[in-house]
Amino acid sequence: MSKDNIKGFKLNNNLCLIQLWITFIVTCSIQFASCELIIVQTALGNISGSIEEVTSYDDTGNPSVMFFAQYLSIPYAEPPIRFRRPEPKTPWAGEYNGTFYRPACYHQGDPARVGTFHVKTAMMSEDCLTLDIYAPNSTIVNQSSLPVLVFLYSSPGYSSAFAADVLCTVGDVVVVVINFRQGMLGFFSLGSEAASGNYGLFDQQMALQWIAKYIHSFGGDPKKVTLVGHSFGASNAIYHTLYPGNRGLIHRVVALSGTALLPSGGKSYVRNSIETGVLEEIGCQRASDADIMSCLRGKSLTDILNALDKKSFTFAPSVDGTFLRSYPEVMITDLAKDDNSTKELEFLNVDLMLGLNNMEGGAHVALLWAERLNTTYNEFNVSRADIRNIVVPIAIKRTFGSNISQAITQTVNFQYNDVTGTDDPQRLRQRVVDLFTDIDVAAPLVRTGNVHALLGQGSTYLYQFSEPLNLTQAPVWLSGANRADDVHFLFGFSERGLQFVNHVTGFTPTVEQRVLSTRLIKMIAKFARTGNPNPLSAAGDPQWPEYDTTSTTYLDISAAHVTPKHHFREPFMTFWTSVVPELLTATSQNATSPLVCPKEIGHTIKVNLVSAENIIIALSIVSFCLLCACVLLVCLSVAREPTLYSNSKYAVMKTPNLSETPSISGPSDS
């Protein structure tokens, strides 16, 4: 049997190598069980990995032991120069040891407040541009060419917290998890050639190039690459579909709890300004950009990290003219033009799956509002006044900017506050969770799905995950799935990965949760194969319909049921995709933020009758209240100035001062 026949695989043991040449087809599973190391030949050089075993569960909850190969911390680029784009990895002599994890990329932030994934402190280094590969036994025994899932984690994070042993074996896919630069080291920008930013995105793109060239040696099919991102990683995945350099490198995208867009009219995630305050903290304020960068590269990493710990700084992707030629909102608007400038982008060509948890906003309660309202997240209570005066204004400011009409804030308060006058703590808490689930995740996903479904050539699917895990970073009163709960199911509760995550200490999944994990993995694996997750794995499962803008169809997933539904999170989604954009246009108060309404991308969002009816009723109530207020003002005017009517046959109405019209708000809290 030639080297071509075994696709570059060797065992790092002479006896096993002889046995492999003689009886590879019949007995290779025995060989791999007894010989722990495996070698892959690539054009870069030899890479050693290890054969491991993992316990997985089938659709009925029966466990079985499966084998897989893992190749850890493979360098896909040269050690990076600080604040410069990565360079391709050059070939090495000898054998690269891929049997253990190397240091993660540096990231700043209080590890107790990262929320969705409370990762443990790991060894970190600037020399961190590596990737991990997990391949099922079929890639070794049968020389399979399997679909490839490339996972982009949220920030802060690192690859070893997302061990894909269960995911690769249950899904029968090759999984790649990328380490990339984050925070300031990944996204600091001066908006000039000296520091153009987006280094983290270019790291990921370099990894995608590496995968296209070398993944076939590990049993992966470079023509079936699905980019899977969570939260910040999901927005990055969408950015990659807008970069011409990724043409042909990405075929499908799964965006979990994130996208490149905000609700229509919202401030872009992409920045065009720099964090100038960080230069002062580090001590690198200089006259020229070149001098600034020379100073930053001369500072020790300890100096930089200490400065970042003193204040809160935000570093995000920026418009650099290369990776992001403009704001994602503008680029997606241009997709409707169907000109040559958009044909090189993959957004409309890829198959797209969007997913979220039904109570994503629970993370906000845990990380932001409990502290702001001076309580713990497990004892979190909020009043109607808190929602009206604190929660809604801050939510609107962080999404739409400070120059926003008060009418927008009042309308959002009316939509989400409990205007019935009840003070039920659970009901009010749920309103806060709903607000941030919708404004941060659901509405952006729907906006993305609407564009893709209407203009794209690929398929579009949407799911809502409703199975709670109740891990330690979620409030005890949260009755649904918190942010990132579905990611734990996707990775099959891998013990190799969970050892790096603090908030799962002591957690043991139930048989029902393991079964649901298997079902979710198989859905996404089928999508990675064909762009269609159907048929679903369990007997009697329904068909998962494609997403469309008329009925906004989606799949609701929990241990109790897997059910297709329509009118996703209505009437709230119509509120964000139709009502708010129209109000923004009418008030013309949001000029500082890129404003892209649905009509600007060549279509009008269709509103189903039930949703429209709800909106009409709500607006009618508001109008009635305003009318009553005006009548009251008229009556007061008449009562206070009787002389205006004494000499007239007919009553003359004094025109009320419009500035005295009462604002729209919930009932008094007294």
Return the active site residues.
231
Give, in order, the Cα–Cα distances in Å from 430 to each of 260, 265, 359, 481, 618. Answer: 26, 25, 9, 13, 20
Enumerate residues 6+ apart whose C-beta is below 8 A from 271.
Answer: 189, 314, 316, 317, 318
Whole-angstrom distance, CA of residue 570 vs CA of residue 618: 13
φ/ψ of residue 27, rounded to 5: -120, 15
Enumerate residues 6+ apart whose C-beta is below 8 A from 368.
Answer: none
The residue type at 413: N
φ/ψ of residue 78, rounded to 5: -70, 155
For 81-211, where are the E strands, in sequence order? 95-97, 104-105, 124-125, 130-136, 146-152, 174-178
Cross-strand pairs, 104: 124
At which residue do the structure tokens 């499966």 appear?
66
For residue 193 the two structure tokens come to 């050639």
Chain centroid to CA 610: how far?
A: 30
In the DSSP assignment, the letter for residue 16 is H
The radius of gyration of the chain's CA atoms, rounded to the nearest angstrom, is 28
At which residue do the structure tokens 């401030």 appear?
267
Measure the N-to-C terminal CA separation of the chain; round to a whole number of Å: 85
For residue 661 the two structure tokens come to 């019209």
Whole-angstrom distance, CA of residue 19 vs CA of residue 529: 34
Whole-angstrom distance, CA of residue 23 vs CA of residue 141: 11
| C-beta neighbour count of 636 within 10 angstroms | 13
Chain centroid to CA 314: how far?
A: 17
Closest by CA position to 497, among listed 33, 168, 211: 168
Instruction: Specify whether the CB–CB gap between 518 and 56 falls below 8 A.
Output: yes
Helix (H) / strand (E) element for 48: namely: strand 46-57
